[in-house]
Amino acid sequence: MTTPPTPRYDYEHSPEAIYRQSFATIRAEADLLGLAEDVRPVAVRMIHACGDPGLVDELVSHPALVTATRDALAAGAPIFTDAMMIASGITRRRLPKDNDIVCRLDDPRARELARSWRTTRSAAAVSLWGPRVAGSVVAIGNAPTALFHLLELIADGGHRPAAIIGIPVGFVGSAESKRALADNPWDIPFLVVHGRRGGSALCVAAINALAQESEL
């Protein structure tokens, strides 16, 4: 058995206590009053993931986001994502129906399509999600091209997810893709962080919070 190191620093060891203290600090420092009450725990987890209470200023969600996401997951809907980091980061024990988590980024067909269409592999992989995307929960935290591609497929009459968490990160297309999602004409429930900020950690935090009401 591995021996623990000699204690030299005074710090909190308990995971539960760390979560409680962190969430209490976030609630004290972040202005959550502008968010719907059911979105506030989601915002708290996302702020916890990035360490920035100012994130709340750019967080926008559809009024039905939380209900639509939880209803879909409770019905066994899969989660589709653009990044393996997101697929790996979602806490499975928080999922109500051991929901499938699908990422097609490593599918050889995605590489071929990307080359043929002259787009990113992340965008091409979205085309491989198929009809199961209908009524699913989509979590995009890496590639703006994936979010744009999804919206274009829907605009062409493709299957509509129950909810889209769109938090792609980056300097090219990130802000624009999130504005497009927030302005979607199909009234699909969404969550975005406007601007350049985003990433897998924020997307995972949002999904983990939406999957279960319990904060811890």
Catalytic site positions: 48
If we measure between CA atoms, which residue out of 69, 77, 45 comes closest to residue 201?
45
**Quick one: 41 exposed, middle or buried, by C-beta within 10 A (0-12, 13-18, 19+)?**
buried
Tokens coding 162: 């129950």
Alpha-carbon span 179 to 190, nearest angstrom: 11
Phi/psi of residue 138, each to 5°?
Answer: -105, 135
DSSP codes, 29-64:
HS--TTS-GGGHHHHHHHHHHHT-GGGGGGEEE-TT
Phi/psi of residue 140, each to 5°?
Answer: -115, 115
The radius of gyration computed from the CA coordinates of the chain, to the nearest angstrom, equals: 18
Length of the chain: 216
